Amino acid sequence: MDGAAVEQLVNLSRNPRELGGFLYHPKDWIVSDPAALVQAGPLAKTLAVSTLGAVRDYLTGNRDQITLSGVSVHVVSPACVQVLGPLDGRARVRETFLSAATADLTDGFLGKFMALEDLLVGLQVRFADVDDRKRVLGLLSNVKHETVKTALDDGMTQVVQAKAGVALISDVAVPNPITLSAFRTFRDILQPSSLYVLRVQSGRLGGLPEVGLFEADGGAWKLTVISKIHDWLTEALPAGTAILA
């Protein structure tokens, strides 16, 4: 073997070789990725809004001049929608251009017993005036603290005594399940109706009765609302916009 060939072999063993964007170091048995040393550029600060209309206006106006063909609109939940960009280079990150979020007014209100007054107020400020709300309010507003009965209680229908007129006391069945429409998603769409179980129990230390409202649809309302949001966005956004729901 001549000197030139020997020198070439020595160089191959000492100097790294590039292949497919990676550097191979034969001597040390190391493979390195130079691109991994390059830091990704800054991401856009997410714009926070609270309505679906704002999502529509942002994408139809496109004042930021983003490439709409690479945008995805993700319906994260009944109360959150995000506008996402494509994956960015080797860093594999997405920009979140816009995030729309609204409040679920039933958070912390369901699944527990509370004072009768709290439930009466909650029904009026957290639920729309449709379905069974008026009937339930009429029933609970007439319950006296000494009249709660639980002897006739099969888990589906509970009997309480309600004050009729001024002096008449009568047995009233608490209907279960009941249908109510809570403010749980964007006001741009119709609020969802779902099933709840209403329960009444004697209050502590002989006070006013305590009442609880419990979800009874297994979370099916969420799928219904996400589908409605998807339909709303499909009609409102530019044709071809990717909507993930």
For 15-26, how does the pLDDT look when each residue is reduced to its tens digit (9 = 90+)?
666 766 666 666
Sheet with 93-101: strands ordered across: 47-49, 93-101, 80-88, 72-77, 242-244
CA torsion sign, 63 to 65 to 71 to 76? negative
By DSSP bridging, strand 72-77 and strand 242-244 are parallel
- Cα(222)–Cα(236) distance, rounded to whole angstroms? 21
pLDDT value for 141:
78
Q: 3-class SS at 167? A: coil
The token pair that represents 2 in the structure block? 């001549």
Q: Tell me the sheet residues that pair with 170.
A: 162
pLDDT value for 76:
97
For the stretch 56-106, pLDDT in tens is 999 999 999 998 889 999 999 999 999 999 987 666 788 999 999 999 999
Domain ranges in the chain are 3-37, 50-102, 113-225
Of the listed ranges 1-5, 64-68, 121-125, 184-188, the least confidently predicted one is 1-5
For the stretch 11-70, pLDDT in tens is 555 666 676 666 666 666 665 665 665 566 677 899 999 999 999 999 999 999 998 889
pLDDT value for 166:
30
Q: What is the arithmetic mean of pLDDT over 200-219?
A: 82
pLDDT value for 54:
97
pLDDT value for 160:
53
- Cα(200)–Cα(202) distance, rounded to whole angstroms? 7
How many residues are present in the chain? 245
pTM: 0.73
Q: Label residue 3 by pLDDT band (50, 70, 90).
A: low
pLDDT value for 236:
96
> Which residues neighbour 95 within 8 Å (Cβ) at sequence distance 6 or greater?
43, 44, 84, 85, 88
Q: Which residue has the tokens 């608490």?
A: 174
Higher per-residue confidence, 147 vs 20: 20
